[in-house]
Structure 1
Amino acid sequence: MAFLLLFLLSFVFNPANAQSRSSIIEPGSSLSPNNNSYWLSESGQFAFGFYPYGNGYSVGIWFENIPQKTVVWTLNRDDPPFTGDATLLLSTQGRLTVRPTQGREVLIAGVANAASSASMLDSGNFVLFGSSSGIIWQSFDFPTDTILPGQPLVVNSKLVSDVSETNHTSGKFQIIMQDDGNLVQYPVEAVGVGFSYWSSETNHVGYGASLNLDSEGLLYLQNATGFNITSLNNKVAATGKSIYRATIDADGIFRLYSHSSNRLDNWFIEWSSSDNKCDPIGLCGENSYCFSMEGEPVCQCPPRFVYIDEEHKDLGCRKNYSLVACTERNYQTFNFSKLVDFSWKDSDSYLNVSARTENDCRSECSRDCNCEAALYNNQSCKMLKLPLRFGRRDTSSQIITLLKIAGELAGPGTRKRKLRIDILITSLALACSTLVFLVVAAIGVLKYRSRVQEYNRILCSVNNRVAEDVALKSFTLEELKDATNNFVEEIGKGAYGTVFRGVISEAAGERMVAIKRLEKVVAEGEREFRNEMKAIGITHHKNLVRLLGYCYDGTDRLLVYEYMKNGSLADFLFKSKLKINWEGRVEIVLNIARGLCYLHEECETQIIHCDIKPENILMDDNGYAKIADFGLAKLLMPNQSKTYTGLRGTMGYVAPEWVWNLPITVKADVYSFGIMLFEIVCCRRRVEADVPENEQFLADWVYDCFKANEVEMLVRNEEVTKSKLERMVKVGLWCIQDEALSRPSMKEVTLMLEGRVNIPDPPLLRSFLRSPDPLLLGSFVSSP
């Protein structure tokens, strides 16, 4: 739908059909959807007029000179769309209205003070001028979901999210500039203490504060006297001529976006109020809760509940059972479904009682015919009726949710009969116990223990242990043979196996995958298999290739990955005729840095990749770089910071400590990253023979250019700001220092690349690169 809307916008918003860019709109001027006309700002940056929406048209403001045509303001967003024969008119009486051929005229502005003219300003503000040339009405005073540079969000004003990218009606979430100086996000249907899910924590400021966005991308709060209280983000490093907007998105997260004239891709997220997309309260509907899967929010039903609409799971869930009403003469014994560490809107509880234990809370709810669910926490039992609202996972809450489901229906006197039956059953069970024991013993003695059965038992046990490590799908070898047409389409080959293209079936249809078949001896293959399973199975990051499943069948070890059809970074850098532009290369470097930072510092188990190089960086459909091939990864326990291990990786990228047999830490990956950073910057291999002698070893040449203050020589025939190029070079030189302790962490590298910290000049490069070991030189030159 989003792509369809962009297509329609690009067709209707053809500048060839636009009216004059004159900054002044005189009374009597009009627009009509049928004429494909709109009023442009003087530079052509913004447009005001009709845009296609639903089965008709809405009046709004959008970015006209970028392909996305992003809408930043909509008139009466919750009203039905206008028909194609409507007219937008600045009348001679100074009223700005929309006149449909049928129905009531919609007044935009101009009741109290007649407008003498109007203008679509280059700031994105549509204004009406009075007779004295002062502004008597402006769109900036009535924001919808977005603010632009120069547009303050003043006290008691708010932004409300859209329903979706293509539905601009009011959605579920809002961000409010409160009169206490605090900027707070709430669900639309619940404002107040206990329902905020993000705030600027500036409630000490008092009345008169405002949220502001400046032209350089700084999002900050200002008090009534004009003093900056706090900045929500760091100043954005300019990338060409950038434009900015701050929007509360349909998923409830407030984000700052930039769009650069140097990039043709979509908006780039500079800052967001939350990295967890399940943080917004109320993202999922009634009787459902949110959990994160691969960084994306998923709405889940509790046990014995089903989705109201399978196609729109955010609408919530309904129970798929019924409870027979209890009365004085009928009793119902109830079962309970239990959820741990989930929070709900507990203000919906109709009764709070004291309960020493969880079982006491169950009993209280069982005895109360109105109780359909109970929340137990710290000897408190809150009884509720369905639906449950605002559900989300909250491991800090320690709340136990008890959902009452149907049990047995009984009448007076049934309990005594039931008790006698229980006694009879217990007696029979005790009488039979000896016989059962003898039967089991006989079966155990006579059990057939063939060699094949023993092998299968051991294999099953191993498979189960692997499955305990990571929750991945298990495939049989036959399934993967069918998926790959018996392994015919090879798409890659490495030291530990061959990769084939395949197609697997899922609930949503067929999916293209990459299947890696390990080809070493069993012992080594099993070790690498387990290593890679554990390393990737526990990771979830947008800059890491996702492992979907595995096969552990006899001596066969296979891994099933998401398919990256754009190939490796090496293909883009060294084989493609189309060169990645500077901004794209910077983005790739940042992608890789963030992925490595996650592996080193954010995983539950610290991971050293051990083989960072362009061949192990894959490109997804959107041009994002993802780290792949954890077959050489070295896992460290949480209390372990270094390890001794044999030489791994690819010559030319390995750190000195590998060669010198020193302890290996995450700084080994930092070194490899530094070498690869130079390759990305210069779009060439680390060693090349058909270049001048002083340029053959890339790291040496980079260092010489930096020392001579001639870094521009590294990117000949490219227009790159020297300061930006020097920043990248300095980061790389710090990464390839001989001493591991001298290298920055990947967290520090990321901050340097993002421009958040100053980078001192790196020290001299010493022995390892300046005088490489002659025994290794051949490997450096020949390794791909």
Structure 2
Amino acid sequence: MLLTNRLLLLFFFRAFWMKTIVDEVQAQASKSITYSALNPNNPVEPAITVGSSVTTDDNSSWISSSGHFAFGFYGESDGFFVGIQLFVSPIETVVVWTARPDLKRFSKDAFLNFTDEGIFVTPEKEAVAIPLFKFSSKATSANMLDNGNFVVFGSDISNISGTSEVVLATGVTAAAKPGVAYGSSCSSSSRCSSTVGGTYKSIRSCSAYTRCRASTSSDSIIWRSFDFPSDTILGDQYLPCGSNLTSSAGEKDHSIGKYILNFPCGGASLIFYGLKSSRDVWDTGASGGDYNYLNLGDDGRLYLTSSGGNEKDISDYKPNKNTSDVMIYRATLDSDNIFRLYAHNLPDKSTKMVNEIPNIRDSCQNKGICGVNSYCMLVYGNAECKCVPGFEIMSRDSQVTDCRRIKTVPSCVNLTNSAAAVFHMEELNNIAGMENLAYGELSLASREECSNACLNDCNCYAASFIDQKCLKLKLPLTSGRKDDNHPSVTFMKLAGAQSDPAEPKTRREVCIVAIILSAAATISIWIVVIAAFIGAYWFLFRKFREEWRKWELALTEEIAPRYFSYEELRKGSNEFKQVLGKGGYGTVFRADLPIGDSTVAVAVKKLHGAEMEGEREFQAEMRLIGRAYHANIVRLLGFCHDGPSRLIIYELMLRGSFANHIFESRGRRPSWERRAAILLAAARGIHYLHCECETKIIHRDIKPENILIAEDWTAKIADFGLAKLLNKNQMRAATRTLAAGTEGYVAPECEREVAGSEEAQVSEKADVYSYGIVVLETICSKRNREVKELRKLSLCEMVRESYAANELWKLVDGDEVAAPELEKLVKIGLLCVQEDPNARPVMEDVVMMLEGDIDVPTPPSAPFSL
């Protein structure tokens, strides 16, 4: 019996000890990624189900079977991108694919969702989800494969010929090539394959490092990352002709860089472009053949293939076929515009660069490596960009070394003095590569003659003298590089006369003594003046100190709107290309304008229509919004009255209009607390116009489109083109005016009393009615006019019936909201839309009801006008 007890005790102790070890191993495995290969006899990738999500946490990723590839967030500098990483070793991680590098970095609160409709990122809690990619058919699962390809599967084989959608940097969608499911005959010794665009493509051999997904006959690939490369292609990946690779900004910055690699159809060339230029900066120059694909084989072979089966190697790399090492290859367009082939030895956990295109020793020979008005020079074998004399770097934060003048050079067309009295020429030796920029060429004997020829030519801003030839240049200068073997002299025309030759030493000494004595006398005088000023300020002007502070504040704050020229607005808005919205009287564009000491993103409203209508709209908005300055009124920053052009500049409301949010699908609407806060802010803005503004204003077009939302979810009233001023003695009285507004939001007294061009009695109660419609639309997430068309019943009547039947839950479309809060908003909305204007509350009472300072009365049961 004693022996049995001891054996039982030993058994339990051993079981407990083994469980402790297993738990510890699992805990350590959850904290880090396993870099060793798994069992090759189990080549099935772990499936990712619809509804799965990852966060920015280090341990939250969709990882391939071997642990060498992971799909999810990766951190860079001050935020996170979404992409695929290759784990070469515990200390070396390589980003091989980035989703939407055009987006700004996400915060640490972001999370990634895989749905049956697409892949979405929610930047922060309660924020609107951003689509990274959308699928054309319903997804059922996904896999992170061990060749670096993230694939999404659908259950319907009929979708094989369909297309998936990818959200591009421009915000539009493009078709992705469909794929065929992997064959179920894949094993550790076989190869997997797929057919894309009618061409058989071999996929990496199945092994411990490169596994294949065992799929059913009902699975089909509806999306895969290999079809949308960013700056890299991996082994067994190909780039179709007509496609591009875009470089990253830097080795540790995978936002969009400044170079593009293009593989055009109908040839065998790879062409390198600058992102902001249509001129190629490098061409491989290969010719012959009609090649359709740029392929990177799983053996590291980089080659072109044609539809007829022809192949052409384009790299000098010859892999060692005798080695047993498992390699992963990638070809990346690096940030210096070099297309490099890398070999990653997984067992050795090492990386080696094995080929470069173009293969050049001097990186400065890459014509696009530096920006305008700069030149390239080698420093310890590395390319560095320097500004030409008289220029400085335009932006230290930019990845492109563009340079601008330090001092403006005046036009010499109307000079009364000689050019030498206004300009001087500064020399820069041994600069090559600018010869093709010349607009004129002279045969001159000396460099002095070349310098004078450019100095006296109003069109010339630089000149290059080489071999008794003087090449005249205009700005901007590009493609320059420092070459000590290039016997040239470049002259830059700069503002200011040339300094005189060195003066005799004795005269310089006298000047130095005079300068020192003058400086000492000046400092002494300023000390006395400052002391006298301080004394006068404290003893003589003490009573004016408060007025002085107010005057000083008025000088420093930019309160009044400023004037902008049409040319400023045209350049700042990039030729009015980025449209934010359109209305009946104008179109709103985004622009970046210099305001104060910085460049500010603004909204520019460009008025259109007949000349008189545009002028009337312009005068109305300037006269009315210029009088309003409130936290819930959109701020007027400036205007343009340039010839026939009428433009108004407002602060930019990054989240758009309220309508963009309340009529979204249920999962994307703001929370009820946020919607209630927006309604309260809008009510405060309208109350300010009615009661607190210097001159009382009736807006006459309150609707969700005219309630704009700032980045911090602050709501502001906008669009005063239809607003009317009340005279000082009118206060809350009505004014006779032509009825205006938007269908569905116009008060009944306006629709009933106006026929044709007749005038109607309109008071601020018309705004109260429109605000009530906005409240009811916010509750129901439906437009008033759409309800009328579908049910032949106004939204007001529908809400009143639900309120009378105590069935308010039918209005909220499944949203979660507290019953008291819902009832309060419904009652406020019904009070505001009463047919009798005098029965409607004033906006001051509406604000107090929303804030909870006064009780909300029960609305009457009288019917509403349809």
TM-score, structure 2 as length reference: 0.41
More strand by share: 2
